[in-house]
Amino acid sequence: MAARELIGFLRAKVSSLHQARCFHVETSLLATDKNLLIKLRKRTGYSFVNCKRALDKFNNDSKQAEAWLNEEAQKEGWSKASKLQGRKTVEGLIGLLQEGNCAVMVEVNCETDFVARNANFQQLVQQAALGTMMYHQGKQENLATYIKSFLGAGELSQLKTSSDGTLLSDQLALAIGKLGENMTLRRAAWMAVPPNFFIGSYVHGAALSDALSPSSSTAFGKYGALVICQPLEESPRSSVAELGRRLGQHVVGMAPLSLGSLQDEPGGDMETKMLAQPFLLDPSVSVGQYLQPQGMAVVDFLRFECGEELEALDIEPTRHSAES
């Protein structure tokens, strides 16, 4: 073999070995990138294209990539929110959260029932409920009376979320950016009772998304009810909770407009006073008649129906005498 051919052969061999080494390194890097990409995609829910773009931008730093993705999605969400602002939001969910002697109901709306079943939307409803509960933290201490207060859309959007302290309005923009529908934070209500009272609760009409954490403390539905009750005698806690649930079912199903009193004559299906209405689970007796042998009094109630027409909300807290 001539010297020139030998030199050419050796150069080709060295080049081949170099390429093989580079290929091995690149393959290893690609495997690492793919692993990071899958994890980032699963954690954030953003597209593979955007996740890859973020990882490339920050040299595979997942935390920086995620922060950048959220920032970009939020910008896009605010842009989409302004464009979609006029579109009607007639669907959505009621979120109900109860902690001890306090309970919260919120309503968040979207355009379609398809989005209402999405985990990202349900997380937004959950954040609204948690934010409302946090906002009222401490107000239930040393209560001699029960208290009920309301928040309209403007007040609700300015609450901070429990997860990272961002505003609910920012979480809303993020959800709009992800899901591409107009959404609104419509209203919230909070109730707290003294130790000798309890709050019955019930939601109806929606399933939990498979992608939402099963440990979620927020219940979701198209209808929700809170019922403030006062036991007139000692009752087992389990039976009290079940009775509260049944009363909540009645409020959801029969939609009373006022409480009424035990002196009201029992009415028919068109009756709007709760205590005079036929009890939903036993129409042979009125709610008042059902409660008397239970040793229980209903003091107040609240019903939310997703998408219902609203009168102007009184957002100031209202307190009521525990004896009323």
User: Does pTM top 0.85 for this prediction?
Assistant: no
Q: Residues 86, 80: contact at Cβ < 8 Å? A: no
When pLDDT is averaged across residues 85-99 and rounded to a whole number, the result is 87
* Chain mean position to CA 162: 12
132 vs 77: which has the higher pLDDT = 132
Chain segment 230-284, per-residue pLDDT in tens: 988 776 666 888 999 999 999 999 999 999 999 999 999 999 999 999 999 999 9
Give alpha helix (H) positions in 45-61. Answer: 48-57
CA neighbor of 191 nearest in space, from 255, 133, 104, 122: 104
* pLDDT for the residue numbered 209: 63
**Structure confidence at residue 31 as a pLDDT band (50, 70, 90):** very low
Chain segment 167-193, per-residue pLDDT in tens: 898 889 888 888 888 899 999 999 999
Q: What's the Cα-to-Cα distance from 23 to each of 12, 26, 32, 197, 309, rounded to whole Å?
A: 16, 5, 14, 71, 64
Annotated domain spans of the chain: 26-84, 91-320
Same fold, 26-84 and 91-320: no
**Structure confidence at residue 88 as a pLDDT band (50, 70, 90):** confident
**Structure confidence at residue 10 as a pLDDT band (50, 70, 90):** very low
Q: Residues 275, 298: contact at Cβ < 8 Å? A: yes
d(CA 186, CA 307): 9
d(CA 145, CA 175): 38
CATH architecture of the domain covering 26-84: Orthogonal Bundle (1.10)
Q: Residues 286, 266: contact at Cβ < 8 Å? A: yes
CATH number, domain 91-320: 3.30.479.20
Percent of the chain whose pLDDT exceeds 90: 47
Chain segment 117-169, per-residue pLDDT in tens: 999 999 999 999 999 999 998 787 778 889 999 999 999 999 988 667 788 98
13 vs 270: which has the higher pLDDT = 270
- Give 210's contacts (C-beta < 8 A, 6+ positions apart): 119
* pLDDT for the residue numbered 60: 86
